Amino acid sequence: MKHDLFIAEGLVRRYGTRTVLDGVGFALGRGEMLALLGPSGAGKTTLLRCLAGLERPDGGTVMHAGLDVALLRGRERRRIAMVFQQFNLVGRLSALDNVLAGRLGHVPAWRGWLRRFAPADIALARRCLARVGLSGHEAQRADTLSGGQQQRVAIARALAQQPDLIIADEPVASLDPGTGAGILDLLTSICRADGVAVVCSLHQPDFARRYADRAIGLRAGRVVVDVPASLLGDAELQALYDGAIHSTEPLS
């Protein structure tokens, strides 16, 4: 059994009178790829934000390497990296400058403000871009890259943090299936080669079966599916989607 790097227990999150997460819990080991599934409104994004420490749960805890994520500050937070559906890049900056943003938790604040990074940080950022297949694009403005290339820059930025956990919020939802598969190939290779744990929310069960070790399904804020991804079948999909079985085509 893999050592548990990340443990969520009894997570509850409310917005006013609406309960978005209702007692969610699971554990995740190093080098494990977890697919988070569920219909729109199931609570996936709220869960990921709680896991990353971007929102504080109203109940329950999220522990990362023995530390309460809600209490992490400054450099401690660099151990958790986020990859977003809409990339969250600064369009006017180069691909390299965007990746260097992943070093902000590692360097003195003044270097980040002035964008005066040490040669070692610049070399690391270049290696991260090369790893995601973007050698030669270092100086290109982010807003001139294709969607798939922008997501690769976002993954390179996450790698530059040197995290042990990557949380990806629907990272392929804005991409066509072929490009999305390439992004998931990349995340999976990072997970396997580096021992980085990955939590990835998806709308496509076919992708979950192909890439993930495990699938967790949310419905109405509760975990209703928790199985090895290879065993994700019609019964599990019915529990999530009322029998509507989705393919790798993005949902509207």
Q: Tell me, what's the pLDDT at 113?
A: 61
Averaged pLDDT of the chain = 89
Q: Residue 148: pLDDT above 90?
A: yes
- Provide the pLDDT confidence category of residue 5 given band limits of 50, 70 and 90: confident
Give the residue, 72 or 155, on which the prediction is more confident: 155
User: Alpha-carbon distance 202 to 36, whole Å?
Assistant: 6
What are the pLDDT digits (tens) for 98-130?
999 988 876 656 565 667 788 999 999 999 999
Pairing of strands 59-64, 67-68: antiparallel
Q: Determine the average pLDDT of the residues in 159-176.
A: 93
What b/e readout covers 213-247, taking b as 16+ CB neighbours within 10 angstroms?
A: bbbbbbbebebebeeebeebeeebbeebbeeeebe
User: Alpha-carbon distance 143 to 141, whole Å?
Assistant: 6
Phi, psi of 100 (to 5 degrees): -65, -20
What b/e readout covers 141-162, taking b as 16+ CB neighbours within 10 angstroms?
A: bbeebebbbbbbbbbbbbbbbb
Q: Residue 161: pLDDT above 60?
A: yes
The answer to whether residues 102 and 159 touch, using CB atoms and an 8 Å cutoff, is yes
- Short-list 195, 190, 226, CA closest to 211: 190
What are the pLDDT digits (tens) for 168-204?
999 999 899 999 999 999 999 999 999 999 999 998 8
User: Alpha-carbon distance 227 to 84, whole Å?
Assistant: 25
